[in-house]
Each structure stands twice: as structure tokens, then as C-alpha cells.
Amino acid sequence: MNILRAMVVGLLLVCMTASAGQRDFEPIGERDEELPHLPAAERQQVEDWVQEVVRSWNSRGLADYLAPSFPERQRLLNALEEQVPPDARLRLLAVGPMRIVDEERSAQAITRTVRVAVRLQVEGTGEDGSLQRREGRQDLIIRWIRELPQ
């Protein structure tokens, strides 16, 4: 399999895994400036979670992070198993701005949809045996539920 194809599949998998559901397409632009930032204390929690997702991708434990209702969940897991070379590794290079796209509050929890900009790198062995690296920037959309103390 072409390593470039595998790396692209890997980056797509990470983007898909960060979302607990589908969302409407929203153009990025002037509206982005109006979106609120995630509070600093919560930002670290989201960064830690993104790092865990990257580790789960590398250890083939991604299923633990996908809700049973995740769209095309099994297709994603099969693609990871069948199309991504076993030596391919995903690295999180940087976490950029985090913006709250949507927020719902109830007496039990706060549910936020957060857009997180990340720089990722997929590393693997090329067809000629050399180390190949592909870097990309992605906007991950995650749904984060924070339960409130009762």
C-alpha cells in the first residue's frame, strides 16, 4: 500500500474520531472571531484528551474513544485495522486555538461542541524503506460533556 495513502487515511481517522457526531458545515472566517475561547482550565483537559486519542490511534485502541452511536463506527475501525500500516505512528505536534462552537446547559451537565486546531504528523516506512513523514493541520470538532456536581 502506498504510505502516502495510509498517512492520509490516518489523518482522516483522527479527524473523524474527535467528533461524537455529525455537524453542519460552518465556514471559517469572520464568524470565527466571534466564537468564545475555551477557558484556560478546561483547555488543558481538552489538550490531554486529544493526546489520549493520538495514543489510542497508535495502540489500535481507538474503539474505546468512539461512542456506539458514532456514524460509521465499524467502517472507521476496519479502515484503521486494514489500511493503515502497523508501523505508522501519529504524533501530535501542536494544539492551537480552541473555540466553543455550541454550548448546552442542564442541571446535570454542560455540553460543549469545541473546535480545536491541531498540527499532526504521521510517520511510517516508505516503499523504499526510508522514514516518511507527513504533516498536516486539522480542525477537530469534539463534543465534550462536563458533568456538574449535584
Domain topology for 3-22+29-147: Nuclear Transport Factor 2; Chain: A, (3.10.450)
Concatenated DSSP letters for 92-144? EEEEEEEEEEEEEE-SSEEEEEEEEEEEEEEEEE-TTS-EEEEEEEEEEEEEE
* Per-residue pLDDT reduced to its tens digit, 41-51: 788 988 998 99
List the domain boundaries for the chain.
3-22+29-147
What's the one-letter identity of residue 30? E
Q: What is the dihedral of CA 54, 57, 59, 60, to 10 degrees?
A: 160
Q: Is the pLDDT of residue 21 over 80?
A: no
**Is the overall model pTM greater than 0.75, yes or no?**
no
Q: Between residues 22 and 12, which one has the greater pLDDT?
A: 12
